[in-house]
């Protein structure tokens, strides 16, 4: 087992049974002209997470460990986008409207792609999700709604390391869903970001409070230093 100097106390990861999860590092959230910007957000606030995620991806790839990327996006006919989601608030553009990177949050459009710096490579899982959490309505197989959990179980995954954006929305929802399914969850504090720094800080505190009620947090440098050496490193 790998020992991590985490918050709120030391924890462990099981090498080979730990997947790196990269939540929604899509152009629609990170770049100008996308969904995040349409909600009135300053997308540059998310850019600090890119380099730590890239370093973690390199470490996982060098060891041959599983990597999952998620994308929040909808079908072109919006059949998986409930009106309650599309009609919310007063954005400059709504989900499915045409923007500079194509239709917002629609699968197949340029804005829905993962940013080039963190693009998935062969063998990594790419999970399209219509909600904020990565387990709901993803990896549908034979009409079963819990496909991702079954796939992770089949792959022998027991521990999940969370990164990506935004901390309090899709990362937190996914980590909570995973915790309820029995995964040992760790969030990497500098590899996640929010448009609202105070929300990020509060989320990290609430996830780890009460004796790691949802899981642990760790800095990427401490995580990388704790990983076992490998031939390709
Ligand atoms: N708006 C916001 O902070 N986030 C989202 O809508 N989705 C994700 O967090 N990916």
DSSP one-letter string for 91-153: -SS-TTSEEBTEETTBTTSGGGSBPGGG---TT-EEEEESSSSSSTTBS-BTTBTBHHHHHHH
Indicate the pTM of the whole model. 0.97
What are 207-225's pLDDT values in tens digits? Answer: 999 999 999 999 999 999 9
3-class DSSP state for residue 19? strand
Indicate if ligand 1 lies below 6 Å from the C-beta of 22.
no
Indicate if ligand 1 lies below 6 Å from the C-beta of 25.
no
What are 71-122's pLDDT values in tens digits? Answer: 999 999 999 999 999 998 888 899 999 999 999 999 999 999 999 999 999 9
Q: Going by C-beta distance under 8 Å and a sequence separation of 6 or more, which residues neighbour residue 173?
A: 131, 132, 133
Indicate if ligand 1 lies below 6 Å from the C-beta of 165.
yes
Q: Is the pLDDT of residue 140 over 90?
A: no
H/E stretch holding 185: strand 184-193
Q: Is the pLDDT of residue 142 over 80?
A: no
The protein residue whose alpha carbon is closest to atom 1 in ligand 1 is: 36
CA-to-CA dists, residue 31 to 35, 42, 43, 64, 139, angstroms: 9, 9, 6, 30, 27
Q: How far is the CA of 204 from the centre of ligand 1 (A)?
A: 16
């Amino acid at each position: 087992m790998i020992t991590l100097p985490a918050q709120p106390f030391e924890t462990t990861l099981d090498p080979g049974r730990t997947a790196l999860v990269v939540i929604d590092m899509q152009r629609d959230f990170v770049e100008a002209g996308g969904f995040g910007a349409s909600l009135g957000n300053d997308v540059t606030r998310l850019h600090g997470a890119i380099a730590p995620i890239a370093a973690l991806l390199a470490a996982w790839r060098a060891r041959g460990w599983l990597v999952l990327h998620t994308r929040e996006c909808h079908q072109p006919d919006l059949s998986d986008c409930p009106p309650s989601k599309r009609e919310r608030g007063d954005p400059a553009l709504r989900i499915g409207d045409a923007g500079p990177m194509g239709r917002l949050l629609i699968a197949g459009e340029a804005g829905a792609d993962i940013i080039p710096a963190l693009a998935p490579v062969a063998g990594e899982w790419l999970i399209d999700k219509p909600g904020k959490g990565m387990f709901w309505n993803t990896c549908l197989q034979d009409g079963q709604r819990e496909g991702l959990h079954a796939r992770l179980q089949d792959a022998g995954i027991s521990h999940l390391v969370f990164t990506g954006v935004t901390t309090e929305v899709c990362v937190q929802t996914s980590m909570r869903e995973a915790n309820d399914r029995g995964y040992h969850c760790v969030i990497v504090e500098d590899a996640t970001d929010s448009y609202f720094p105070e929300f990020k800080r509060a989320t990290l505190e609430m996830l780890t409070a009460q004796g790691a009620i949802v899981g642990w947090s760790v800095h990427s440098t401490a995580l990388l230093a704790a990983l076992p050496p490998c031939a390709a490193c």
